[in-house]
Chains A and B, each alone.
Chain A
């Protein structure tokens, strides 16, 4: 099984450009998450989804949008990229039951210049 797959792995954007990060999981997990990781700040929750067709804001949602049209996919969009969005982005999924913990993707390193 592939687990959680993120595409792309690396991307460089110019300020004001848009892009979509794709997260796909093949474990039939209900819950999916997008985090960003910045030095010294751990991982901060951007948006999450508790099932197909649902999304909710996390700790740092501004400047991002998400969609979960299919259970296995969770898309993170940047409509107008800013240098402050330079970060490493991680997608994660889990089954019902928070005690299971997450399965993480390998991350997307995004640089906005």
Chain B
């Protein structure tokens, strides 16, 4: 079965500094990978997705992620954090067995002024 591991439950950065949220995946084939964001008391919004095209994927709000098969990683980055980026971020993998998405446990990003 496919799974994802988010390596940090909390990340704190200062406004204007880079963001790195780490995700490793487990899959026996080339997976579909996603990052979703959830702002406080809100629903989930798709940030970006990887579906075996370019390994560097650009998403909304300046976020991007790089698929590295050799490292089984799909880390999310942003060059400069903004206060509005404070939210919970989920790394997600497609599970073709259940034809569903499997979610990581989430990383809460805090942005300090």
Contacts and interface: CB of A to CB of B under 8 A. Distances in A.
The answer on A and B forming one complex is: yes
Interface of A: 31, 33, 35, 40-45, 48, 50, 56, 58, 90, 92, 98-99, 101-102, 104-107
Given A43-B103, A98-B32, A104 B94 contact: no
A101 B103 contact: no
B99 A42 contact: no
Contact of A101 (B42, B49, B95, B102): B49
Contacts of A40: 9, 105-106
B43 interface: yes
Contact of A98 (B101, B103, B105, B106): B101
Contacts of A92: 101
Given A40-B105, A98-B32, A102-B44, 9 more contacts: A40-B9, A42-B103, A42-B105, A43-B90, A45-B102, A56-B98, A99-B94, A104-B44, A104-B45
The prevalent SS among residues of B at the interface is: strand
**Residue from the set B43, B98, B105 with the largest chain A CB neighbour count within 10 Å:** B43
In the complex, the 5 A-B pairs of residues with the closest C-beta atoms, listed nearest first: A42-B103, A99-B51, A98-B94, A43-B103, A106-B43
Contacts of A58: 98, 100
A33 B106 contact: no
A98 B96 contact: yes
Contacts of A31: 99
B67 interface: no
A35 B44 CA distance: 12
A12 B46 CA distance: 29
A9 B97 CA distance: 31
A42 B106 contact: yes
Contacts of A43: 44, 90, 103
B104 A42 contact: yes
B60 to A, nearest CB: 13
6 contacts: A33-B101, A41-B105, A42-B90, A58-B98, A101-B32, A107-B43
A48 B101 contact: no
